[in-house]
């Protein structure tokens, strides 16, 4: 079960171009959900990097409570992946000195004034693949 979970999660992470990132709004307690594209160079069950602007509700929430959920759906496989991850907010240069080389054309067009990277370290994974649901803590696999 564990090996198939990892294999299926890796497939979904590689194929997914946009992921939904959810935090809990520290002011209202209401979920805050945004769509972000992970950097292609860092997209695995060990680490996912998201490029965004520092002046966002998502960053505010992550700085208050460094945990979030990442969700992606693969229409081809009719499958979905949900991760719970601990986070760190870093300047883009701290993570990748030449980080702009890792951005896609859309990310480059954003031209953030204060770009940051959200480093996600997945803790748990829940995957629905071929109509089967599996849940694992990543330290168990």
Mean pLDDT, all residues of the chain:
88
- Is the pLDDT reported for residue 140 higher than 60? no
Would residue 11 be called left, alpha or beta, if left means φ above 0 and alpha means ψ between -120 and 50 degrees? alpha
Give the chain's domain count: 1
Dihedral sign for Cα atoms in the order 43, 122, 125, 68: negative
**Where in the sequence is the domain holding 12, given as residue range(s)?**
2-140
What is this structure's pTM?
0.88
Say which CATH number the domain at 13 has: 2.30.110.10
User: For 38-92, what is each residue's pLDDT tens digit?
Assistant: 988 788 889 999 999 999 999 999 999 999 999 999 888 789 999 999 999 998 7
**pLDDT-based confidence at 141, cuts 50/70/90?**
very low
Q: Report the SS3 class of residue 122.
A: strand
């Amino acid at each position: 079960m564990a090996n198939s979970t990892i294999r299926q999660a890796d497939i979904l992470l590689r194929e997914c171009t946009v992921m939904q990132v959810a935090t809990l709004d520290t002011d209202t307690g209401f979920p805050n959900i945004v769509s972000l594209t992970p950097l292609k160079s860092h997209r695995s069950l060990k680490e996912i990097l998201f490029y965004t602007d520092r002046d966002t509700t998502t960053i505010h929430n992550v700085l208050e409570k460094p945990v979030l959920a990442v969700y992606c759906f693969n229409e081809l496989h009719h499958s979905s992946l949900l991760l719970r991850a601990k986070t760190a907010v870093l300047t883009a240069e701290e993570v990748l000195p030449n980080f702009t080389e890792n951005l896609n054309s859309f990310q480059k067009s954003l031209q953030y004034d204060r770009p940051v990277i959200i480093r996600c370290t997945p803790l748990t994974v829940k995957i629905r693949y071929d109509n089967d649901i599996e849940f694992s803590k990543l330290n168990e696999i």
